[in-house]
Amino acid sequence: MSDKELTQRSAWETVLASLKKRSLWMLHYCTGCGAVELPPTMTSRFDMERFGIMPMVTPRQADILLITGYLSVKTLKRVILIYEQMQAPKYVVGFGSCTINGGMYWNSYATMKSLDRYLPVELYLAGCMPRPEAIISGFNSLIDRIDRGEANSWKDYYENYEFYRKNQEHTFGDIETHRSIADDAQYYGFVEVTK
Amino acid sequence: MNSGIGLIVWIIAYPFVSFFLGVLLGGYGRKLTARVQRRVGPTWIQPLFDVIKLMTKQTNISHGYMHDVAMMMLVGGTLMTMYFVPVPGFHYFSQFGDYIVVMYLLLVPPLGMALGVGQTANPNGSIGISRALQMLAGYEITLVMTFIGFAMKHGTTSMYELMKLQQAGGPATWGIFAEPLLGIAALFALQGMLNEKPFEVIIAPHEIATGPMTEMGGKYLGMMFIQHLIALPMELTIFMNLFLGGAQSWVEYVVKLFVLFTLVLVVNAVYGRFKTDGALRFFWKLPLPLAALGVVMIMANGM
Amino acid sequence: MSGTYTVPTGRPEAARGEKRSASAIVAAIAELGGESGFAVKAPRRVEGRVEAAALHGFAAALRMRVGFEHLSAISCVDWLADGEFELVYHFWSYRDNCLVSAHVRIPRDTATMATLTDLWQPASFFERDIHEMFGVEFLGNEDLEKYILTDWKGPPPMRKDFVSRDFAHDHFTYKNYEPSWDEMIDGGYYSGGQNGGQA
Amino acid sequence: MSDIVTINDGKAIMPGANAPENREYNMFIGPNHPGIEGNFALKLSIEGDIIQKAKTEAGFLHRGFEKLMEERLFIQNIAIVCRICVPDPDPNEENYARAIEAIGGIEVPRRAQFIRVLVLELSRIASHLFTFGGHAGTIGLYTMPNWSISDRDRVLDLFEELTGGRVYHIFNMPGGVRRDLPDGFKNRVRDVMDYVESRLSEYDDLFFNNKILLNRAVGTGILPVDKAIAWGATGPNLRAAGFAHDVRKDDPYEVYEELEFDVPTAADSDAYSRLIVRRREIAESIRIVRQVLDKIPEGPVWNKQPNPLKWRVPAGDAYVRTESSKGEYAYYMVSDGGVRPYRVHVRGASVTHGVHILENMLAGARIEDASQIMFSLDACPPEVDR
Amino acid sequence: MAIDKIGSILRPFTALKNLAEKPDTLDVPRHYRPAAERYRGFHVNDLDKCIGCGTCAEICDNAAIRMVPVKGKEVGVGKTQYRPAIDYGRCCWCGLCVDVCTTNSLSMTREYTHISPDTDTFFILPDEKGIHEKDFPQGWHADEKINFLDLERVTMQELSAAERGDSFIEIVKGFSKEQAVKEASRCVSCGLCTATCPAHMNIPEYIDAIWKEDATEAGRQMYKTNPLPDVCGRICTHKCETACSLGQRGDPVSIRWLKRYAMDQIPASELNTLVNQSVVKQGGKKIAIVGGGPAGLSAAYYLVLMGYGVTLYEKYPKAGGMMRYGMPEYRLPYESIDKDIDFILSLGVELKTNVTVGKDIPVEKLRDEYDAVIMATGFHGGRSTRVPGTDHPMVFQAVDLLARITNGDEFPVEKDIVVIGGGNVAMDIARSLARMQKKKYGTVSLIVTSLETRDIMPADDEEIVEGEEEGIVFHPGRGPEEIIVENGSITGLKTSRCIRVFNDQKMFAPEFDKNDIEVYAAAQVIEAIGQGPEFDVFAPFAESLEMAGRRVKVDQFFQSSLPWLFIAGDIIKGPDAITGIETGHQAALGVDFWLGKQPDDTLSTIDEVLKIALGFQREQVTQLEAVLAAGSLAPAVEAETSKLLASEKADLAAVEALLAGRNTRIHLRQEMPRAVRRRDFKYLEAQKPIPAESASATIKAITEHASAGFRLYTDILFLTKSKELEFSLDGLRDHQKATAERFASLKD
């Protein structure tokens, strides 16, 4: 993020960040076809546990939400709920073309086109789908960002919730959230957002 | 060291020492499993990073008062138990509480978990808890049975005393060699107590989405991890004290801890999990009769 | 779910026996009466046209009397210009290793068809799919509720008069890039307004 | 009510949400659940730990492929069809190419036919290895996925070398294949086949003979042969019931008629049988691959087709079937003589396995077994959703 | 089989042996793991090799490729300044673009990692280096054996040398329907041909129509810019084919023969319905056109369609000019010429034949009687080598002889003939004479010499080859020294070897090796080294008419220094038929402009866009004015709106100015390859399906979106490259955003 925030970090936070980056759990959710490269990434050929990255089962436990490629509108709805249930700090990683500009489903009636209109995205990986090497590089890049204190995209969701909410409503009509984003924003210390 | 300032230092330091041991064991476990699986695995202190990460997460979910209290019960209960398990150089509390106390205290954390998870109202969690309680009926009874045998043989229920007796008698008097039936039964029970495969039915991600942990995130999950890491060396120590003659020095203690844990891990690495009823049936079919037989033999010898 | 339909699970007698050639199957179909338009199209492929009203009877006879046990698929084609849907039923015979495709045309505006779920369980999926994607009603199928498109509010998307590209354009937003090589090109790149996007 | 993380339709169901005296409660498995193959959901109605009623929910992976194909040129579709089934993409390419060839009467050079068989069989091996990992995961034996999925990667390396892509090969084209075999490729295929074969015996030790697997899988999810046929089971799931139907044998395509291979079957039709049939199919596939390497003739690999931008396929229709790793995979294609397919209907192998058969088999099963039953059927949700 | 159904407790423990083995894990990403040789990674493009044809963008199923104009890339024959930019938010790495690339400039590397939080970095303009400017080895690239494109053209059936040797029957048989469709199917519709064609014919469109077996539509497309398609289908110099992107690696599409095929399918009687032009007689305004060649006919056609009264003066008995009197019949049958000309005349053009302007009727008379005069007298004067002996009566000028052949006049044909010249006219006369020799003597004895060596001979290659087949002997690279005359009759031509034709400045400056002398026996010598204008007709104005070298000076409207006099055809540009047609068209437009009438016959795309922009802008102004007039605004909003109105008005004025400068249209058409224009508007197609009626309807639909309005302006800027426009891109962007927001607030 901005230089200001970088300089504002205390020494304690810097140390903490360098420890926190060593453990990152991703949500084990195959949202799209890119997920087929996740098992190789998890298992012995590429073994992402080397970097402290593990698949986790529920949103509560996870730090990383991988959007593995296209998101059908039906899945997108679930993904948004999942994201809201995750504990901060949380990172969304977009896999491949589909999360950026619709990918090969650019003219499909059933998939969303730009992920960053619905959720704040920390990183994008190029590829259709990204290979395990690229995924591992992506995770390393995320680790670096956390280390440098740059991985703050999640804050945007609470600071600019209106923007995301507007786009979500545009796509779904009304969406029923489980959590009060206003309360969450307050908890996280952001300005209160009117729901 | 079991009195005065040394004692106070121990009381304060012991949880941290235990936690540190737990971290090492946990990391070792993950590393070893990884190697069986032909991969490199994480760093040796990976569990520490996990805990730090979890405890620094901004946790804003709470499923109510019970949810929070339950976490206290979980960690508190484990810490309490820990003090009653003698380790080299520290057996102050074990003179006040014998093995029966330990057995009793061991039930507190699952109870705490049950309360907390019940509060979250997640069906997966509820199933996980019911499984945990069912499993108690498997390994706990076996464990108690083996202990009864020992108590009968040596005429004491103090873990410290039992340990001392074995240390005095040398390896030949170690429970596992002296009473192999009880020892083998207790090894199975240990596997169950540590919730490792093939008895890992409580977490079972593919079946019930990590069961009790389903609703836990951030600090709550961190607490559970801390509890797990403290309980790990403690549970191994219980077994060690009963069947491997405890340890006289820290070097011996750590070596035995790791060797014992390795045994548990290799089984864990090459087996899948039973179904709950399968696990129970197994316990009732093999370890429990073994333990019972052992007890009978002790009784026969004693008569 | 197994109780929902009285789907025959036993294997028909006709499904056992010697392997027959494709032309023998054409003859066997002709023997059923009523359907004489079947012909061998390619090796192991027999094709013909069946009236909509006769389809259920034909399928039942094909199963019970000729021995076609496997309903491979039901396909639907929207012939917009003709104002018709074409339903194509693909039956496979394990005995003969031969596929029979029965083509049925039904009017597009009042698209109804008798269900085959009482004969084949798999028909349930295909019929529900065609119902969702084309809007064809299958009389007698109790399980036509939305399955894949539960969140969908538009028209049945596989109809030819639904243009996916238009829908995507109206309902989604494409990316506006401001690439770094902007200055490399004449006039500078600007990907356009809100709806600009690439194409 | 507090939010709990099992998500479906945005509603969480409490245990005992029904009447208090009714012990039945509802539970969602998926779409976010490791026990689910892909992005798919099960709505279970449970009493105790017995599933009373199961209902699948699909559509999370729906992209409207059949519609997209109608809006793309014939050549452009070769890039998208493989996406329909992610773990085993090649039957899609095969079907798409063969449907056009059947409609347009296009000849395929023999060398290309052999290469297609090679690709299809390698894809089958990769897919089965993947399934082993998934199945072992459901019973918690995580060593197995670590092994089999990294061994699968060896096959993907071959794909990468041959086709330029690891997962999506985009290699079959109407009229042949896109590239010839690279230099020395045959030897590398042989090496990998030897490797996979040697690994199979290690799998036997660790997994297929594992007492726990037998404890879990034998007698779980029984699908009697009559029901298997009536409910439309195909592929390994049908063969595990003792019914030896294989599209490669019974509706042969490419050069399968010239190759020797057996169709493995099993009798018990439980989860274990289905697993073992797949295990044996890998051995058969290795046999086929070796024969292909021996028999493959020299020659061109592609019959030139018209300029792809102005490529019309004559009017007509065709129904083509392929034996995928999951079962019968069929395409029904209609061309109206234009530059785009008029209609392509994709009949995925999992439309029966993953929906009604799964629902039927789950009813009465234990909740612990739900995941294993699904994986033993090897249902592939993107095939259902398209 | 090593599987039993009993299971084992101990066998799983064999897995523990892995504890002693090295893990299977690869040390990525610390060490880059090379991808396979064929890996489909990120794109690289040889920007110099790339011609910007845009075929990659056409085949991309994800609309991931957009052609953008790259600075400093030269635009030339078969080259645009456009290069593909790739959107990795769309790309699926299928590599179809690589396989279809006409030049093989596009390929993929083995690089596979790109990670960024910034989506803008996923849209790249690939160059030789790739996305990260790192050297990665080449991955997926074009394969020699697998060609998506049809690189070989359909062979045109021709009469054999024996069949055609002694007759003037047309050599080329023409395509059959199957052949034509097959040949048409080779086209990738890149439109490079359109840019190169002097008349900017809608080539991809008519080829597409032929491919769809719709000859009528093909004809309609042709008549938009060329009223003599029948003729052009036979004798056009087909510069388009040199530009064809398929020619990069294979044979270009036979554009000329396809045109011929399409026109052959349309009977003369149907031409009128095909063009479907309602001629509105304006009356009053009359135009005289001097010269009935391609330029004159073309000008006549477009002027008459614009509603002028046109009179065409022709000195020969029939109209057609060089097409009729300079082309041998075996290349261009007279029926074809007649078909085209008759159609033009049928539209109401008055033709006066056998009238030589300047001799039979003074130019001044035309000036006085008509509102404007278009002079298209052409190149009818043959040039002479001026070597000794050229004044001999048996030395002929090729153009004269060709005209005599057409008129059927008798002239001597000797047994041995030498033709001097290496151009197409030389070929025409040589091959005509060869036929006459064959008829008269049964054998051919004809030598063609030219300064240029075989490889640089300006004549079409097929002409030379066919000439050789017909028995003509070529001696290229020889310069005439002297025509040897003995006893009053010619005996031969003495030549020396030509060392080089052009000097370093590429100027015509032949040098000869005087020691290398050859003599070719001949009784008759034909000079065919070029033609020139005959300026007799301009004699009365010699003083007032400005010249530019040997040609008359004209401005961009083809208007000479005498305002009433417009010039077209060979005498200002060319010489060839298709250039003549284009100059005729432009002169017609120039006349129309001069006479102050807005032409609306063939609106080009840019005009449509400008008009829509105008409408859009007017709409904005009207709306704002209405809002202001309603008067119910808060003072602050009102002030804001007034400001907005002022700026909108300024924009309106700018667009009006742009549209008023109609000359933009004429020139833009030449600068913009059609396909590129079409692609620029592809985003419009992507938004809405193209309605069957017209592209303009599509564009109109777009204007309904306020935001698309902005896009419209950027495209105008692209198209016009008009830096003078008062709005800058950045300003416009902010401005449009602000406008949208303000409108939204105003509605409340």
Does position D9 have pLDDT exceeding 60, yes or no? no
Percent of chain C with pLDDT over 90: 9
Largest pairwise CA distance in chain E: 121
Q: Do B40 and E23 touch (CB under 8 A)?
A: yes
Enumerate residues 31 to 50 of chain A having a beta carbon within 8 A of any beta carbon in chain D. Answer: 31-33, 35-37, 39-40, 43-45
Residues within 8 A of B (CB atoms), A 36-65 only: 43-45, 47, 49-52, 57-61, 63
pLDDT for E728: 37
Predicted confidence at residue E54, as pLDDT, reads: 80
Using beta carbons and an 8 Å cutoff, which residues of C are at the interface with D? 1-2, 7-11, 42, 44-45, 69-73, 75-78, 88, 90, 94, 97, 99, 101, 120-122, 124-126, 129, 133, 147-151, 157-158, 160, 162-165
Sequence-ordered list of residues with C-beta below 8 angstroms from that of A7, at least 6 positions apart, any chain: none
Structural domains of chain D, with CATH:
65-385 (1.10.645.10)
Assess whether C141 and C192 both reside in one domain: no
Q: Which carries the bigger pLDDT value, residue E738 or residue E502?
A: E502
* Same-domain check for residues C36 and C99: yes
Cβ neighbours of E95 in D, within 8 Å: 164, 170
D24-29 and D41-47 beta bridge pairing: antiparallel
Percentage of chain D surpassing pLDDT 90? 26
Distance from the Cα of C162 to chain D's closest Cα (Å) equals: 9
Q: Tell which of D39, D67, D249 to mutate to test the C interface (max C CBs under 10 Å).
A: D67
Cβ <8 Å between A103 and E25? no
Please state the rounded mean pLDDT for residues E72-85. Answer: 78
Q: Which of residues 314-343 of D touch C (CB under 8 A)?
A: 317-319, 321, 328, 330, 332, 334, 342-343
- Is there a domain that residue C137 lies in? yes
Q: What is the mean pLDDT of chain C?
A: 81
pLDDT over threshold 90, residue E628: no
Residues of D in contact with A30 (CB under 8 A): 38-39
In a domain, C156, yes or no: no
Whether the predicted pLDDT of D286 surpasses 90? yes
In this structure, the answer to whether residues E220 and E185 fall within a common structural domain is yes
Instruction: Evaluate whether residue C119 is within a structural domain.
Output: yes
- By CB neighbour count within 10 A (0-12 exposed, 13-18 middle, 19+ buried), where does C121 fall? buried
Residues E391 and E518 grouped into a single domain: yes
Residue C85 and residue C48 share a domain: yes
Which chain E residues contact residue D185 at CB under 8 A?
Answer: none
3-class secondary structure, E217: helix
Which chains does C contact via 3+ CB–CB distances below 8 A? Answer: A, D, E
- As a whole number, mean pLDDT of residues A22-26 equals 88
**CB of E87 less than 8 A from some CB of C:** yes
- How close is the nearest chain B Cα to the Cα of E33, in Å? 17
What ipTM goes with this model? 0.86
The answer, yes or no, to whether residue E584 has pLDDT greater than 70, is yes
Best residue of E6, E11, E690 to probe chain D, by most D CBs closer than 10 Å:
E11
In a domain, C170, yes or no: yes
| CA nearest neighbour of C73 among D345, D66, D65, D58 | D345
Would the pLDDT of E690 be above 50? no
pLDDT in tens, D70-105: 988 898 899 889 888 888 899 999 999 999 999 988
Q: Which of E121, E122, E683 to mutate to test the interface with C (most CBs of C within 10 A)?
A: E683
Q: Residues of chain B whose C-beta is under 8 A from some C-beta in D?
A: 33, 36-39, 61, 63-64, 120-124, 126-127, 197-198, 200, 204-209, 214-215, 269-276, 278
Same domain flag for E525 and E412: yes
| Predicted pLDDT of residue E636 | 59
**E29 part of contact set with chain B, CB < 8 Å:** no
**Span C3-25, pLDDT tens digits:** 344 556 677 777 787 888 888 88
Q: Is residue C7 part of a domain?
A: no
User: Does C182 lie in the same domain as C91?
Assistant: no
Helices (H), chain D: 65-70, 74-77, 90-104, 110-138, 143-163, 185-203, 211-217, 225-230, 235-239, 247-250, 271-295, 350-351, 358-362, 367-377, 381-385
E15 to chain D: which residues are within 8 Å by CB?
143, 202, 205-206
If one counts the domains in chain C, the total is 2
Cβ of C178 under 8 Å from any chain A Cβ? Answer: no
Stretch 109-168 of chain C: residues touching chain A, C-beta under 8 Å: 149-154, 157, 162, 164-165, 167-168
Residue from the list A74, A100, A109 with its beta carbon closest to the beta carbon of C167 = A109
Pair (E329, E255) in one structural domain: no
Exposed / middle / buried, residue B8 (Cβ in 10 Å: 0-12, 13-18, 19+): exposed
pLDDT band at E607 (very low <50, low <70, confident <90, very high): low
List, in order of start, the domains of chain A with CATH numbers. Answer: 3-151 (3.40.50.12280)
A117 to C151: CB separation less than 8 angstroms, yes or no:
no
Contacts of E51 (CB under 8 A, 6+ apart): E78, E79, E80, E102, E103, E105, E192, E245, E248
For chain A, the chains sharing at least 3 beta-carbon pairs closer than 8 angstroms are: B, C, D, E
Within 77-96 of A, beta carbons closer than 8 Å to B belong to 85-89
- D164 and E96 within 8 Å at the Cβ level: the answer is no
Model pLDDT, residue A191: 63
Assess whether E528 and E393 both reside in one domain. yes
C1 closest CB neighbour out of D57, D352, D363: D363
Q: What is the pLDDT of residue D127?
A: 92
Please tell me the predicted confidence (pLDDT) of residue D330.
Answer: 92
Say whether pLDDT at A80 is over 70.
yes
Between residues A191 and E8, the one the model is more confident about = E8
Q: Is E514 helix (H, G, I), strand (E, B) or coil?
A: strand
pLDDT interval class at E650 (50, 70, 90): low
- Name, of A148-157, A180-189, E178-187, E546-555, the range with top average pLDDT: E178-187
What's chain E's average pLDDT? Answer: 75
Q: Do A102 and E87 touch (CB under 8 A)?
A: no
Whether the pLDDT of residue B17 is over 50: the answer is yes
Regarding whether E335 and E212 lie in a shared domain, the answer is: no
State whether E202 and E245 are in the same domain. Answer: yes
Q: Which amino acid appears at position E316 of this protein? A: Y
Average pLDDT, chain A: 83
CB nearest to E5's CB, from D206, D214, D308:
D214
How many folded domains does chain E comprise?
A: 5
Tokens 């924003």, residue?
A185
- Predicted local confidence at residue E705, as pLDDT: 32
Kindly state the average pLDDT of the residues A183-189: 75
Distance CA D290, CA D367 (A): 42
Q: Considering chain B, what is the average pLDDT of its residues?
A: 82
Chain A residues touching C171 at Cβ < 8 A: 109, 170-171
* E121, E148, E175 - which closes a domain: E148
C39 and C131 share a domain? yes
Q: Looking at the predicted structure, is the pLDDT value of residue E729 above 60?
A: no
Question: Per the CB < 8 Å rule, is C1 touching D243?
Answer: no
C189–E85 C-beta distance less than 8 A:
yes
Q: List, for residues E384-393, the tens digit of each pLDDT value.
A: 778 887 888 8
Residue E27 lies in a domain: no
* C126 and C196 both lie in a single domain: no
- Tell whether omega for the bond before A129 is within 30 degrees of 0, i.e. cis: yes
Alpha carbon separation from E45 to E54, E90, E172 (Å, rounded) = 13, 18, 40
Tell me the CB-side half-sphere exposure of residue E13, using CA atoms within 13 A: 8
E236 shares its domain with E144: no
Q: Do E14 and D202 touch (CB under 8 A)?
A: yes
Residues E230 and E341 in one domain: no
| Choice among A168-182, B37-51, B250-264 with the minimum mean pLDDT | A168-182
Domain residues for C167? 163-199
Is beta strand E350-352 parallel, antiparallel or unpaired with respect to E309-313?
A: parallel
pLDDT band at D196 (very low <50, low <70, confident <90, very high): very high
Q: What pLDDT is recorded for position E284?
A: 63
pTM of the model: 0.83
Q: Chains D vs A: touching, with 3+ CB pairs under 8 Å? A: yes
**pLDDT tens, D22-36?**
566 777 776 777 667
Q: Chain C residue closest to E737 (CA)? A: C193
List the domain range (segments joined by +) for residue E325: 286-291+302-379+534-594
Residue A64's beta-bridge partner residues?
A26, A91
Across E304-340, b (16+ Cβ under 10 Å) vs e yields bbbbbbbbbbbbbebbbbbbbbbbbbbbbbeebbbbb
Other beta carbons within 10 angstroms of residue D116's beta carbon come to 25
E465 and E586 assigned to the same domain: no
Same domain, C182 and C138: no
Asked if C179 has any chain E CB less than 8 Å from its own CB, the reply is yes
How much is the pLDDT for D97? 92
Min Cα distance A75 → chain D (Å) is 5
CATH code, E132: 3.30.70.3270
Instruction: For residues E238 and E251, state if they share a domain.
Output: yes
Tell whether C86 is covered by a domain. Answer: yes
Contact D138, D375 (CB under 8 A): yes
In this structure, the answer to whether residues E45 and E118 fall within a common structural domain is yes
Instruction: Give the contacts of E549 (CB within 8 A, at least 6 positions apart).
Output: none
Chain E residue numbers with beta carbons less than 8 Å from the beta carbon of C192 are 683, 707-708, 710-711, 714
Within a domain: residue E64? yes
Quick check: E293 and E320 in contact, CB under 8 A?
Answer: yes
Lowest average pLDDT, out of B179-188, C53-62, E255-264, E614-623, goes to E614-623
Number of neighbouring beta carbons within 10 Å of residue B68: 15
Question: What is the tens place of the pLDDT at every residue in A33-74?
Answer: 888 888 899 888 888 888 889 888 888 888 898 888 888 888
CB E641 within 8 A of CB E628: yes
